Structure 1
Amino acid sequence: MVKPLSNDQKILNLLGLATRARAIVFGEDQILKVIRSKEAKLVLLASDIGTNTKKSLTDKSHHYGIPCVTFVEEALLSQAVGKSRRVAVAITDQGFAKKIVSLLD
């Protein structure tokens, strides 16, 4: 019998799809840029992100009214998006962001 996927696994799979659809932005500077321009629909942070980076991204997200959520550790987040050492990503597609938020609740 096949075990159903957990919500975390579903989100990681969606992140892979969003990456291939070019609906994800990487890197602190680029993420801050899409937050300021309100292109970001959701910001996901790794649970083991650095304190300064976390504060910078969460403060900017809250200021612009963009949801910012701490999710899995860096290794899982990096693997899901197919890039090494990723501690934060911004989702720029409303559909992906909405589905991920629904799975987080």
Structure 2
Amino acid sequence: MPNRTFDRNRCLQQLGLARRASALLVGTDAVLAGLAAGSALQVWLAVDAGTNVTKKIRDKCAFYHKPLVQSLSRKELGEALGRSQVVVVAVTNPGFAASLQNALGESDGGVLFDKTESV
């Protein structure tokens, strides 16, 4: 299998499509509720998110065994979703989650999916 690389533009496009298809939960409260309900399949957290939000989202993703992706900034996430800034989103559609996972690949030798453990 060839070594895949992170395709930032494809990820941004897929997130935008998922938003238009109502396949995303946007914001901390919505994402936490989606994790608890089991509807969140993949969580995207901005690399420049605050310390408290980062810890809360990491802990919940670890508890519910959901993948956490930290590879885009607040501004990049926001622009992909038609907003100024977005800190956290969760993908709720399995097709979009699979497509985004394929677009992630590897970057700088490290897998962008964070297999979190309890912090």
1:21 equivalent to 2:21? Answer yes
Where do 1:26-105 residues align within 5 Å? 26-105=26-105
State the identity as a percent.
Answer: 37
Number of paired residues?
100
- Tell me how large the CA RMSD over aligned residues is: 1.0
Match of 1:39, as an amino acid?
S
TM-score, structure 2 as length reference: 0.80
Tell me the SS of whatever aligns to 1:72: coil
Structure 1 residue runs of 5 or longer lacking an equivalent are 1-5
Question: When the two structures are superposed, what TM-score results if normalisation uses the length of structure 1?
Answer: 0.91
Alignment partner, residue 108 of structure 2: none
Secondary structure of 2:43's partner?
Answer: strand
Instruction: Extract unaligned runs of 5+ from structure 2.
Output: 1-5, 106-119
2:12 is matched by which residue type in structure 1?
L
1:3 corresponds in structure 2 to: none
Q: Compute the displacement of 1:65 (Å).
A: 0.8
Which protein is richer in helix relative to its size?
1
Distance in 2 (CA, whole Å) between partners of 1:58 and 1:101 is 18
Whether the 8 Å CA contact 2:31–2:90 is kept in 1: the answer is yes
User: Which stretch of the first structure deviates more once superposed, 16-25 or 82-91?
Assistant: 82-91
Cα distance, 1:85 vs structure 2: 2.2
- Read off the aligned partner of 2:100 and give its amino acid letter: I
Matching residue's letter, 2:99: K
Q: Which runs of 4+ in 1 moved over 2 A?
A: none
SS at match of 1:58: helix
Per-residue CA shift, 1:30-78, capped at 9, x if unaligned? 1000001110010001110101101101110111011011021111110
